[in-house]
Structure 1
Amino acid sequence: MRPLTVLQAAAAAVVAARLARGRRRPAPLRPGLSGPPPERVSVVVPARDEESRIGECLAPLLSDPAVGEVIVVDDESRDGTARLAERLGATVVTGAPLPDGWVGKQWALHQGVQAAKGPIVVLLDADTRPKEGLCAELAALLGSHDLVSAGPRFICGGALEQALHASLLATLVYRFGPIGPSSPIGPRGPVRREAAVERLLVNGQCMAFRKARMAEADGFARVRHHLTDDVALGRLLARDGWRVAFVDAGPLLEVDMHTSAASVWREWGRSIALRDVTPAGRLAGDLAVVWLTAALPVLRLAAGRPTPLDLGLLAQRLLLVAALRDSYVQPGPGLAASPLLDVATAVRLTWSALLPARSWRGRAYGRAYGPDHGRGRGPAAVRPAGRSAPPVRSAAR
């Protein structure tokens, strides 16, 4: 048997084991299951140049009886974000200038959580579309968890955008398994091994925790240099003993992250490798899994020389397409065509791993941020990226 075949078979077994965990996924969050939260809930939304879309995030929150206050941290926006948020009824915190050593989103969240009056804090990105009931259900989960992260349903503007997005999403499933483990990582969870913490995912678009516990942990300050801030925070707190869970909130949360396929390629692709929170050996293994089980079968099929294992992997990929339907507000032909882009996605994943981006939201960060933190002489000063930097459509950073 050829070495490549042996490696592909081993990678296929790993992916099959990860996908099998999907059978134990709990049901998605739904409204009204838990009743009103027993304590006040503060929602914090970090925002930098979000005038065009923050209204769709704030309006449902401001009318939700479970939400005690909505705080928008205006992170030095250059548009009318703060004015719009105030007009809608949110409390606007004017963000202080970004200190050296901090990435923008963590600094905004640090200020927003400090300003929150409620004992329960929910973090939401400005591109999310929450529905009534989301915050109540997240608050209820804090009875058995310390940090709750929620996965949304995605809004895609066209077939090509959805195809590329679904292909990138598939790489996360192949590398980490399905969203929504049945048990949290933590003192009373099934595992505490470092290996399990290294595979932990959270979604920074939506998180909930108790303010006092986060203040004690000083979580945002401790991950202030990370560009993949959400996963860095979740893994840090899990190592501290926090019970961390990632749940499916699709019926209660939608997100419109991007404006086009080019935007997906540029913006989500920049961080999809999770380089700054993944050890080099593990990252190499992740790349090998994606190339061997997703890209190679498509390449061989295109060449007219697929092996039986390739055909089995292609069939598995089509089953994943069906499983991902509930991850999209309007699943369409783009989702069905997503396996055709798996080679391009493997290229983007490799690019993200080898040449990580260090600019975001008009700010550029030195090599001491993200994957190179601790290797240089300390965080370089943040500098403006200039007006030639491409616009982005994700969370403030």
Structure 2
Amino acid sequence: MEFKISRDFIAQVEQYIEENNEVQLQALLKDIHYADIAEIMEELDSSDASYLFHILDSEKTAEILLELDEEIREKILKNLSAKEIAEELDELSTDDAADIIAELPEDKKEEVIQELVDAEHARDIVDLLRYDEDTAGGLMAKELVKVNENWNVLTCVKEMRIQAENVQRVHSIYVVDDDNRLKGRLSLKDLLTTSTKTPISEIYIKKVDFVKVNTPDVEVARIMQKYDLEAIPVVDELGRLVGRITIDDVVDVIKEEAEKDYQLAAGISQDVEADDSILDLTRARLPWLVLALFGGFISVSLLESFNAAMKHHKELFFFTPLIAAMAGNVGVQSSAIIVQGLANNSLSGSLWRRLIKEVSLTLLNGSILAILLVLGSHFLLGEGFNLALTVSISLISVIVIASLIGTFIPILLDKIGIDPALATGPFITTSNDIFGILIYFSIAKVMLGF
């Protein structure tokens, strides 16, 4: 059952902290999951959060560190000595420990690494720090279970027992050669049902999915999602097994990528959060607002160029917001589907087939909307048939163009190496507003004559 944090519970924690009542605090938090304790600490001020952190045992606080918001974690780590931080990291797997060390100032990084008790653990962490955080090398952990292809089953089992002591969860058993090159994987069923004298080389599975240390993290996530993998091995440039990536690390990547794409689609040019400074939020939002402003200037200029329409057919301007809104909505819908397909690598067929399909879909939707518009404008608003027909033809034309823009732009951006999520939101909306107004009044000029 999920633990729910209430205001009364937080008040109780704050009271015990104020009374320095460590016994009651530890009793209160004893059976609460570390992720929930991290959430509790985020509700406290920094001094109370630090106090709470210090009274808990290191096995639990190490996991709490991983769950904390970066800003809170930074404040807590700032109040810990290098030795205290090292004690926390000794409880964590190498990938998680490396992530925390990477957030420390350079001078403190060296101090913490020197204070690590386990020399092999320290070497593995230092090795992981060499890789970019957005690659497979930056995601992987060093802890894994591997066996040599030249061993027999009995030797394999003995070695696995030793290795498993340092692995929190055994997802797969990897097979390597004498040079540590990845050869395949070993089925636990085959291991249990085969004679102890049987060489591993005769029973291991040679087909194994893997990634290289420089594979982008989003590509790792895509592969694991596609093949439904709980873990995937990582090899270096020579094909040597250097680590593994587990599903929990990939979930974080998917979440971060989704948040980034959502912000890009909303017109926010960098990763920000609600609690960031006004200056940071301004830098993230202002560029796209400036783009929208210039787009608005262009739209106003286009409207001004159709002054004659204002004199002879003022009613045309009543439908301008409708045309612009439909263009923006259709463009965003089309681009969202394409961006999602590109992210999931699920788009198939040629670009022309994709465009033809989108145009066909839009013509069907546009025709239905046009009929509703003719009926509504003629019978409900009392407009003339010629005007209703003009607006309807314009609507179909506008949403066809909008769908083409919404389809083509994300694919083009992806081809030239730019995040296609940029295509959605303000970019598509602004461009379709401009094209919508231009097409609408151009068709009206031809059909109504002004």
TM range (shorter): under 0.3
Which of the two has greater helix per residue?
A: 2
Q: Could you tell me the TM-score, scaled by structure 2's length?
A: 0.22
Which of the two has greater strand per residue?
A: 1
Larger Rg: 2
Which one has more relative contact order, counting CA pairs under 8 Å at least 6 apart?
A: 1
